[in-house]
Amino acid sequence: MTTDSTPPTLGLNAKLLEVIVCPQCHGDLLPVENADGGELVCQGSCGLAYPVRDGIPVLLVDEARSTAS
């Protein structure tokens, strides 16, 4: 977990984070650290969370988890 106000990058290139979007709804993706390493959480209408495995974002809808309660 980062201790300053800098958002986590999960080891991903900042330019990559600027251009990739959610494959489901095309919303922006927010990197979030978790116990499994991290995930990219969609800030758009679908709210899916995509895992980041070994520094590689897995942007497959079938691999994403829902963040809806």
- pLDDT computed for residue 17 by the predictor: 93
Question: What CATH number did the domain enclosing 39 receive?
Answer: 2.20.25
Residue 65 lies inside a defined structural domain of this protein: yes
Residue 18 lies inside a defined structural domain of this protein: no
How far apart, in whole angstroms, are the C-alpha atoms of residue 6 and residue 23?
25
How far apart, in whole angstroms, are the C-alpha atoms of residue 20 and residue 2?
22
For 9-63, how does the pLDDT look when each residue is reduced to its tens digit (9 = 90+)?
898 999 999 999 999 999 999 999 988 889 999 999 999 999 999 889 999 999 9
Is the pLDDT at 3 greater than 80, yes or no? no
Residue 41 lies inside a defined structural domain of this protein: yes
Is the pLDDT at 2 greater than 70, yes or no? no
Residue 42's domain spans which residues?
28-69
State the pTM of this model: 0.85
CA atoms within 13 A on the CB side of 3: 0
Number of domains in the chain: 1
Region at 45 (left for phi over 0; alpha for psi -120 to 50; beta for the rest): alpha
Residue 37 lies inside a defined structural domain of this protein: yes
- pLDDT computed for residue 9 by the predictor: 86
Residue 62 lies inside a defined structural domain of this protein: yes
